[in-house]
Amino acid sequence: MVGMGIGRRAILGGAAVLAAPRLGNAQAGEPLKIGEINSYTAQPAFLQPYRQAWTLALEQVNAAGGIHGRPLTTIHRDDAGKPEDAVRHAGELVTSEKVVLLAGGFLSNVGLALGDYAAQNKKLFVASEPLTDAIVWSKGNRYTFRLRASTYMQCAMLVEEAAKLPAKKWALVAPNYEYGQSAVRWFKELLKAARPDVEFVAEQFPALGRIDAGATVQALAASNPEAIFNVTFGADLTNFVRQGATRGLFERRAVVSLLTGEPEYLDPLGDEAPEGWIVTGYPHDQINTPAHTAFRDAYRRKYSDYPRLGSVVGYDTVQAIAALLRRANTTDTEKLVDTMRGLQFASVLGEVTFRALDHQSTMGAYVGKTALRAGRGVMVDWRYADGSKYLPSDAVVRTLRPAG
């Protein structure tokens, strides 16, 4: 009877293997489809370079033989910054296009909507960019993984520098949606833990993409802070910087700013770029590691342009997916998810791991200061902050993330 039981399990196990064919078998030459959804028309500064580098990475993967002999292809969709459109596109890609997995996402609210779709429909979602902590913590699920260094991680990197400043009175400004609210929460909590003597004297939450920069600057100045934490980006950042400079907000005040060192947001400021701000960013022209140099040179050859941070994110998303598919050697979603937990791959910025506990990658970020050089903003005095060093402990994550 024992022997018969073992035999039955072996038969069932064999059936499971047959249900998840290896990629190089009968389907050789048939493309493996990725469904990619992003806010292309809503956030072109970041997502045009992202899309270009995505294409470059795809070409390189296929030139090297694809995934076990099968080419990798992408079906892109534009969600226009609307969560409901993103979910509709996801449904179409999964049911009609039969994609192997979903990827993309820029805005945090869109990323959360796609993560929820992934959980409800048991489809792997590789979130490229949305920075919300909720996507891997409070709203985390088995099927959602995130590449980019999170809001918490980047705030922890900046707090490390902010805590060294003599400033005690801080004002904060952030866009009024999940990412901005989360950034303010973590900055306050982490800075207070590092410097119990600080106080927060003002908070401004302008609508994303619709900042009244004059009124925002006036309200911050009225609180007479010694330092400012800024989370605005894109056109909001440009307006904030111009109004702040005109009204003297930044004079004799330290500014700590998320994302401002990224070329997508620093370049449009031209000679109006602020000097001395402590920022996260991407000093593309100064990073000369072998992996980054090869990436930068290939990008320049193809597009006659330099990469932005969006380029790194797009390129590395494809590289992560390719590494996943090569290792899993199947299109079965459950096996892909199991393989993704703990997956390591060689990113442009160095070795990256997707932590099994919360599905957050260990990709880091560059931290430095802004300066003007030849009439344009650049990053100086920068360092690469390894993301694995800026994540909360496993015990803390377990209190933040639902089981499963």
Tens of pLDDT, residues 337-347 = 999 999 999 99
Average pLDDT of every residue of the chain = 93
User: How far is it, in rounded angstroms, from Cα 261 to Cα 130?
Assistant: 18
Query: Taking the CB of residue 69, how many other CB atoms lie within 10 A of it?
Result: 13
Side chain identity at 299, as an amino acid letter?
Y
Question: Which CATH topology does 152-287+366-394 take?
Answer: Rossmann fold (3.40.50)
Please name the residues in contact with 270: beta carbons below 8 A apart, sequence gap of 6 or more: 375, 376, 377
Residue 25 is predicted with a pLDDT of 56
Residue 244 is predicted with a pLDDT of 97
Question: Nearest to residue 124, comparing CAs of 322, 274, 335, 282?
Answer: 335
User: How far is it, in rounded angstroms, from Cα 339 to Cα 343?
Assistant: 6
Residue 295 is predicted with a pLDDT of 98
Task: Decide: helix, strand or coil at residue 394.
Answer: helix
CB 79 within 8 Å of CB 38: yes
Residue 1 is predicted with a pLDDT of 34
User: How far is it, in rounded angstroms, from Cα 125 to Cα 286?
Assistant: 33
Task: Decide: helix, strand or coil at residue 165.
Answer: coil
User: How far is it, in rounded angstroms, from Cα 370 to Cα 266?
Assistant: 9
How many H-runs (helices) and E-runs (strands) does the chain carry?
13, 14
Give start-end residues of each CATH 3.40.50.2300 domain in the chain: 21-150+288-364, 152-287+366-394
Starting at the edge strand found earlier in the chain, the sheet holding 254-261 runs 199-204, 169-173, 227-230, 254-261, 278-281, 365-373, 376-385
Residue 404 is predicted with a pLDDT of 60
Tokens (6 digits) for 289 = 């590691």
Residue range 184-210, pLDDT digits in tens: 999 999 999 999 999 999 999 999 999
Residue 24 is predicted with a pLDDT of 64
> What string of pLDDT tens digits covers the 404 residues of the chain?
333 333 443 434 444 444 455 776 546 689 999 999 999 999 999 999 999 999 999 999 999 999 999 999 999 999 999 999 999 999 999 999 999 999 999 999 999 999 999 999 999 999 999 999 999 999 999 999 999 999 999 999 999 999 999 999 999 999 999 999 999 999 999 999 999 999 999 999 999 999 999 999 999 999 999 999 999 999 999 999 999 999 999 999 999 999 999 999 999 999 999 999 999 999 999 999 999 999 999 999 999 999 999 999 999 999 999 999 999 999 999 999 999 999 999 999 999 999 999 999 999 999 999 999 999 999 999 999 999 999 998 999 999 888 76
Residue 225 is predicted with a pLDDT of 98
Query: Taking the CB of residue 259, how many other CB atoms lie within 10 A of it?
Result: 25
Burial 331-345 (b: 16+ CB within 10 A, else e): bbbeebbebbeebeb
CATH code of the region 21-150+288-364:
3.40.50.2300
Residue with tokens 């795809």: 58
Task: Decide: helix, strand or coil at residue 333.
Answer: helix
Residue range 342-396, pLDDT digits in tens: 999 999 999 999 999 999 999 999 999 999 999 999 999 999 999 999 999 899 9
Residue 8 is predicted with a pLDDT of 40
Residue range 166-185, pLDDT digits in tens: 999 999 999 999 999 999 99
